[in-house]
Amino acid sequence: MTKDFALVPLTEEMLPRVLELEKLCFSLPWSRDAFLPELTDPACCWLAALADGEVAGYAGMRTVLDEGYISNIAVSPAFRKRGFGMALVQALQREGEKRGLSFLTLEVRVGNREARRLYERAGFREVGLRPGYYEKPREDALLMTYDYPEGDKAV
């Protein structure tokens, strides 16, 4: 695990690197036009992990009432296995706690064992399956949810 990184709000200036990572990490990457409204929407929270002067990873979520939905989490292959993914997930969990969420949920490819282990270590549990959810290649999505303890909810 590295200690030489910072988690900061994702900004428009960071999008060129984020778009590179989107293409590297996802078969159907988001476009600049998909990201832009998310960065200014108060229902969203987007974070970047900065290391060695560059965006090493990023993550984002959207909230609806007391529900949280993680949209994307990506870490550059050059920075994997150094704690960036866990730091991003935990930062979104803390933000969800501040917002008084009941739960935080995400979809992950069934075959993405590393990501599934990361989410399990962060306290997410399997709650369902979305058959054929992903394209290129077609694959089922595992629905995973993190439930906030009742006593931790904001009033």
Rounded to an integer, what distance in angstroms lies between the CA atom of residue 28 and that of residue 135? 8
* Residue 107 known to be catalytic: yes
Catalytic residue chosen out of the listed positions 119, 134, 146, 148: 119
Rounded to an integer, what distance in angstroms lies between the CA atom of residue 109 and that of residue 88? 19
Query: Hey, what are 99's tokens?
Result: 């917002």
Residue 5 near residue 50, CB atoms below 8 Å = yes
DSSP symbols for 32-72:
HHHHHHHHH-TTEEEEEEEETTEEEEEEEEEEETTEEEEEE
* Residue 38 known to be catalytic: no
Catalytic residue chosen out of the listed positions 22, 38, 58, 107: 107
How many residues are there in the chain? 155
Annotated catalytic residues are 107, 119
